[in-house]
Amino acid sequence: MRRSESPGEIDEGLYSRQLYVLGHEAMRRLAKTAVLVSGMKGLGVEIAKNIILAGVKSVTVHDPGNTQWSDLSSQFFLSERDVGQNRAVASQQHLAELNSYVPVTAYTGELSESFLAAFQVVVLSNSPLEEQLRISDICHACGIRFILADTKGLAGQLFCDFGENFVVDETSEADPVCAYVQHISQGTPGVVTCRDRQGHGHGFADGDFVTFSDVGGMSQLNGCKPLAIHVLDEFTLEIGDTSSFAPYQRGGVITQVKVPQLHSYESLRASLAKPKIKAMDDRGCSLHLAFRALHTFTAEMGRLPRPRVQADAERLLELARGLTTHQELLDEGLVRTFAHVSAGELSPMAALLGGLAAQEVLKAASGKFLPLAQWLYFDALECLPEQGTMLLTEESCAPRGSRYDGQIAVFGADFQERLGRQKYFVVGAGAIGCELLKNFAMIGLAAGEGGSITVTDMDTIERSNLSRQLLFRLRDVGKLKSETAAAAVRRMNPTTRVTAQPHHVGPDTETLYGDDFFMALDGVTNALDSMQARAYVDSLCIRYLKPLLDSGTEGTKGHVQVVVPHLTQPFGSPLDLTESAVPLCTLRHFPSTIEHTLQWARDEFDGLFKVPAENVNKFLEDPAFLEVQRTTQDLEGVRSSLQEKPHSWQDCVRWARQRWESLYHHTILNLLHAFPPGQETSPGVPFWAGPKRCPQPLEFDCNNSTHMEYIMAAASLFAQMHRLQVPRDRAAARETLRAMAMPPFQLEVAVRIPVTEEEMEEMPTGVDEEQLAALRQELAEHRQALLERGCGSTHLMEPIHFEKDDDSNGHVDFIMAASNLRAANYGIAPADWHKSKRVAGRIVPAIATTTAAVAGLACLELYKLVWGHQDLDSYCNSFLQLAEPLLTRFHPLSPLATYKYGQETWSCWHRVEVPGIGAHGEELTLQELLDQLQGVHSLPVRTVLCGVTILYASFWAKQKREAQLACRLTQLVGGLPGAVWPPRRILVLDLVCEDQQDDDVLPPVHVWLPCG
């Protein structure tokens, strides 16, 4: 079942992107899990939001306390009118609207043992240590998974106890590792030599379990039960006793098998004194002691340490010292700073810890991915003002009765005003964009006089967005994302000054997002899927010297990169989130994975049902179609499409059957003729080995479901493309197929099949001009005849554009059948409908937990940008993988030398700036510009370019040079192709100098032109 049609089934239309992260079985387990989240401040509501979007069985939110002003700086479902009201009760309705499948209940009473027994997972946030210990003891004894999460200002903690016998079914998100066998020794143990598809190391880890397939000779290994391996080096590993097996001959694939693992966890009480801390270091130990001391301080004083009150900080430090005998492990400066900020409530910290904690809830519910063992501590104290730039005091951090009191406690009131004045551009209002905007509203970005947020996104809301994009509801489907998101954040914080626009950002919208727009900004945030679009936005930030926060996710992986003018390198696509192209010869002739056959099928879809129709329509509607340079293949395709025009369902079935025979029988026989099964590339080295799988032709069978699925899907799409309205009758198709007699196979002679990319490039591309002319003449006469009979419009076709999100259109059905048939040719395991849809649709797996965490990390960097930090080491790029769980932060790199002239080098941020108005008060001529470049910047110019157009070249004739030099700059560029109106304020020019060396690249020239 592809879509939920009955109770208990997974709603794949809603959860499609998350299903590609967790899988169906994990999702079914989620739907059976009742979760309690106690504490409805910013962190608690983040956790609840994420797990409700994920689709657990039910969520009960608990909090005995009432809303305070300081809560509003991070609790996005509370407002000023809720101050004094119970936090859980006030939040319940908002949370319930997130997912109609998840009942949400508010509870304000005591967490008794009998009450807790109703839940499979319990999450505590914002609770005293005594309560944590009591509930942890109950959960540990009763087999209830227990999670503790807390944030205090710029520090956070996370603890997990999933019991003493917790089974993890799948520890990682990565696909199973696969390698190609080159040799297996007979011995105790047997040694396997293998490489990956690119000839690199095998990629296995010590202790992995593996199985084998397609091994020649030592066939006892094929399909064996999972074997534990011991890695010797990057190309060899041991697998156990192979001494009694037959000698290895050739081939074979070794594949990782993910086996369940049993994990044991200590209770909170047992773990406090000797904690197992993720990335155990002195900082983690100090934070552990600081949080413990904070509980003691709160119990003793009845409050948290007051911001910037030294006596409170010293008392907390004294308490922390009393908890350890290893004073040298205690970072006293860290503890003091922690005390100063611990009264704070920050939305970015809640978003980060809320994403991490919610993913642990999903692990506890599903057994999918490796849980935290057992403590994680995080701090971002580097977000505070750099030393010597701003002195925070008790007075500046004192509460004001403001919705930002939780943030003022950390950064002070002046910083809050600075946040309010910011002007930011948010590019994209999808999952990350929604989370960023929510955080911006909470922290008060652009909520003051002079502030502004512009958010742009041309997409509309789809139902599949609702499981991870918190600002949208079912009633919003079909509306613009940007407008809906802007309206939602205004409801969260009515003072947020946000403007929505429905545009993409690209060269064709530079009139909208040009010089004036960008120069007024304080910064830009990328919330885009496309690497190309993200790189384009980065190029604008370089041009206008604006900081950029770039974020991206894929499943449980995410990254944040901060780009600061003159200080860091520009945007670079994270290696772990990019794909490498598959060689064309692999797709056409030598697939080795189901991904290869799916990509081939996706290309086949366009080649059969989109491109031919587009070409026929152009041929019929555009008289100049035949005059434009066309390939013989294009014109033969038009002729074939016209000749193949079907008149009945039977015609469509016959076409599909002939296509089937060509692809899965004849093509394979031709390939085997060129490269027989026993062929060797050199003596003793078989051609069909390693990634090259020897194919076998298929024989058509009406009773084979995959064969019939191909016929039905291909014939239906063929009929649709030809605008033929006929019933898609399977029984009639079978009758037609049984009555068909296929012509015998004819070998294609003198056809060269390329084996490598180099051979593909060497293939002759010459055109038989005589044949091409004859084909043009034939088609021109055919078109004339159609027009004279008035039949031109009846031959127009319907190009079919692949659409992945309409499960009823048959597109994925065709691709799955086409791919699985090709997989059968090559002995590759087939893919189910869901994997076929993901690969063919290039769907990026996504889940709300990762999005929330990434947005939180991005906003922590935003704090530093607003402060204006100048120390490179205060900024952090981040990479996280919640499945493991892994969170890595590292300092950005300084910009590299991009430009060079003589002995001088500059980074990408450098430009030669020239005022466009001369001393006489008039706009510069080109001659005056060259004089300035020579006199002020010592640049003897030989050539001036604007884009790809040459404005001046010293080798031009004297008359032409003089005429050009006398022109004003706006005269020169106003008539260029693509010139915009009104003209730019910054004219960007490229130079070539007289004495420039081959390796010299000059920075661009920015000429500041007069306004208006």
Phi (first) and psi of residue 636, to 5 degrees: -65, -35
- pLDDT at 50 (0 to 100): 98
- pLDDT at 947 (0 to 100): 86
- CA distances (Å), 490 to each of 430, 438, 494, in order? 17, 9, 5
Phi (first) and psi of residue 771, to 5 degrees: -65, -40
Tokens 């394979």 belong to which residue? 668
What is the Cα–Cα distance from 242 to 246, expressed in whole angstroms? 8
Contact 285, 329 (CB under 8 A): yes
What is the Cα–Cα distance from 693 to 593, expressed in whole angstroms? 10
What's the chain's Rg over C-alpha atoms? 33
Please name every residue paired with 950 in a beta bridge, in sequence order, or none if there are none. Answer: 945
Helices (H), 322-412: 332-341, 347-366, 405-411
What is the Cα–Cα distance from 486 to 496, expressed in whole angstroms? 9
Contact 864, 383 (CB under 8 A): yes
Residue 809, token pair as written in the block: 């259109």
Q: Residues 881-914: pLDDT tens digits?
A: 999 999 999 999 999 999 998 888 999 999 999 9
Residue 291, token pair as written in the block: 């949080």
Q: Residues 211-236: pLDDT tens digits?
A: 999 899 999 999 999 999 999 999 99
CA atoms within 13 A on the CB side of 453: 34
Residue 689, token pair as written in the block: 């080995």
What is the Cα–Cα distance from 47 to 92, expressed in whole angstroms? 13
What is the Cα–Cα distance from 656 to 702, expressed in whole angstroms? 13
Give catalytic status of residue 194 as yes or no: no
Other CB atoms within a 10 A radius of the CB of residue 685 amount to 9
What is the Cα–Cα distance from 207 to 237, expressed in whole angstroms? 11
* Spans of the chain below 50 pLDDT: 1-7, 575-579
- CA distances (Å), 396 to each of 411, 739, 864, in order? 8, 89, 18
Angle at 199 between CA 683 and CA 575, to 5 degrees: 165
Catalytic hit among 178, 194, 224, 585? 585
Q: What is the dihedral of CA 892, 898, 901, 903, to 10 degrees?
A: 40
Angle at 576 between CA 571 and CA 580, to 5 degrees: 95
Angle, helices 958-965 vs 926-935, to 10°: value is: 90
Q: Residues 155-195: pLDDT tens digits?
A: 999 999 999 999 999 998 888 999 999 999 999 999 999 99
What is the Cα–Cα distance from 363 to 29, expressed in whole angstroms? 10
What is the Cα–Cα distance from 22 to 41, expressed in whole angstroms? 28
Contact 420, 444 (CB under 8 A): yes
b/e 32-65 (16+ beta carbons within 10 angstroms → b): ebbbbbbbbbbbbbbbbbbbbbbbbbbbbbbbbe
Does the predicted TM-score (pTM) go above 0.85?
A: yes
- pLDDT at 727 (0 to 100): 85
Q: Please report, as a single letter, which amino acid is at residue 82.
A: D
Contact 136, 160 (CB under 8 A): no
Residue 214, token pair as written in the block: 């397609």
What is the Cα–Cα distance from 25 to 593, expressed in whole angstroms? 24
Beta strand 121-125 with 34-38: parallel, antiparallel or unpaired? parallel
Q: Which residues does 337 contact at the CB level (< 8 Å), separation at least 6? A: 381, 384
- pLDDT at 766 (0 to 100): 60
Nearest to 127 by CA among 37, 189, 48, 16: 37
- pLDDT at 979 (0 to 100): 55
- pLDDT at 977 (0 to 100): 61
Q: Which residues does 980 contact at the CB level (< 8 Å), separation at least 6? A: 510, 511, 514
Residue 703, token pair as written in the block: 């009773």
Angle, helices 649-661 vs 705-721, to 10°: value is: 120
In the three-class reduction of DSSP (H, G, I as helix; E, B as strand; rest coil), residue 780 is classed as helix
Nearest to 412 by CA among 431, 432, 398: 398
Helices (H) and strands (E) in the chain, counts: 33, 33
What is the Cα–Cα distance from 444 to 604, expressed in whole angstroms? 51
Residue 872, token pair as written in the block: 């490179």
- pLDDT at 612 (0 to 100): 93
Q: What is the dihedral of CA 879, 882, 886, 890, to 10 degrees?
A: 20
Q: Is the dihedral of CA 469, 473, 479, 482 positive or negative?
A: negative
- pLDDT at 976 (0 to 100): 65
Other CB atoms within a 10 A radius of the CB of residue 695 amount to 24
Q: Give the long-range contacts of residues 624-629, CB within 8 A, separation 24 or more.
A: 626/776, 626/779, 626/780
